[in-house]
Amino acid sequence: MAAIVVAIFQYYQTRHQPAPSQPSATQSKKDTSASHSPSSKAVDALVSIEVKGRAPKTGYSRTQFGDGWLLNGSCDTRNVILNRDLVDTIVNERCKVTKGTLYDPYTGITIEFLRGDTTSDLVQIDHVVALSNAWQTGAQLLTTDERIRFANDPLELLAVGGAANQAKADGDAATWLPANKSFRCQYVARQIAVKQKYRLWVTQAERDAMTRILEGCPEQTLPTP
């Protein structure tokens, strides 16, 4: 079954975008180190992103980014990300992650994931740049296909604790940051990478907040596949 998941994941990477490695609160499942060339620094990338005010939220809905997770065979984006970010995963014959352990990057808490009607939501997939934030900072100018790709891009997605994801809601860096301070540099760097990739802008308050975080980690690099 592991071989099936890997094969589908490789197909997903080819069709969409390469998946980033996911750091954990204590020990990462994969190495997320990037090249230490100047161009890979988050602070440099942030400078290149346009600063503008938020556009109106008029016309926004989740369906502007597709009708839920993309499906490739029996494997959807949610389960691809769960299998990437959790450790000791068990995957059933329908490509559903049924069990695993998450080191929640947002809180630093270890969460035991068990698929079920009352337990699955303990681990959720966060859009690192909230979809409504993306809509108001340039995504409404993207094509429908680009927005669907955005919402399913592994660069934009992290498995996190459900409570933290709900608390974040549609907040940007100026209004919400992970309680786990050791992850804030990586979190901001990922938001910058997403906004740069999809030609989105940042508000002045958003940029100021990102700058403050990166002042404590000037060598922080953008996430890489």
Per-residue model confidence as pLDDT tens digits over 35-46: 334 459 999 999
The encoded tokens of residue 30 equal: 């994969």
Coil, strand or helix: which one is 153?
coil
Residue type, 187: Y
- The full set of domain ranges for the chain reads 2-215
Q: How does pLDDT run across 95-115, given as a tens digit for each residue?
A: 999 999 999 999 999 999 999
Q: Where are the alpha helices (DSSP H) in 48-95?
A: 77-85
pLDDT at 119 over 60: yes
Parallel/antiparallel/unpaired status of strands 87-91 and 110-114: unpaired
pLDDT at 78 over 60: yes
Rg (CA), the chain: 17
Q: What is the pTM of this model?
A: 0.82
